[in-house]
């Protein structure tokens, strides 16, 4: 946890949230420097902040997340904005993002498989052009149907 608050307040909040690594009394550039150091060690860093003093760190992080009532500069600096101020939604954000990337990978595998198998067969004359066209439509429908599963997130 990186915060500009004093150590007492930071330790109290961290204890309530189960956070063990706390750095308090940091300025905006110090927060960004900590994130740069973590990234230099190979870590993937998500920064959650809502104030002007969080903007450099939000920009520096791999993923910057801000909350609905954040300052305008924090909203502009972040990659993602959670529209209400419930920090528990960060877990939902991570799960939804993971599921979204999983579906994108499935769609890419399906589309590339079709293009690597059916198209060469059609071009070489092994597969009738009408059958190839039907397979292309089917491929597109599978990708769209698979993507519609994201509505249930």
pLDDT tens profile 29-81: 999 999 999 999 999 999 999 889 999 999 999 999 999 888 899 999 999 99
Residues 88-113: what's their mean pLDDT?
92
At 46, give phi and psi (nearest 5°): -110, 130
Q: What's the rounded mean pLDDT across residues 6-19?
A: 93
- d(Cα 128, Cα 136) in Å, to the nearest integer? 12
Q: Helix (H, G, I), strand (E, B), or coil: what is residue 88?
A: coil
Euclidean distance between CA atoms 111 and 80, whole angstroms:
28
Residue 62 has a pLDDT of 96
Q: What is the DSSP letter of 64?
A: E
pTM here is 0.74
pLDDT bracket for residue 153 (50, 70, 90): low
State mean pLDDT over 112-132: 87
């Amino acid at each position: 946890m990186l915060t500009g608050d004093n150590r007492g307040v930071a330790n109290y909040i961290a204890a309530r949230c189960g956070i063990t690594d706390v750095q308090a009394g940091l300025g905006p550039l110090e927060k960004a420097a900590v994130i740069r150091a973590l990234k230099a060690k190979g870590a993937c860093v998500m920064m959650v902040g809502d104030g002007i003093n969080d903007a450099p760190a939000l920009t520096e992080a791999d993923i910057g997340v801000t909350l609905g009532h954040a300052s305008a500069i924090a909203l502009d600096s972040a990659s993602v904005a959670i529209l209400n101020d419930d920090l528990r939604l960060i877990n939902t954000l991570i799960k939804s993002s993971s599921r979204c990337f999983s579906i994108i990978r499935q769609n890419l595998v399906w589309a590339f498989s079709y293009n690597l198998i059916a198209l060469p067969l059609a071009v070489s004359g092994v597969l009738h052009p009408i059958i190839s066209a039907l397979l292309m439509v089917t491929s597109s429908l599978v990708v769209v149907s698979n993507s519609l599963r994201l509505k249930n997130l």
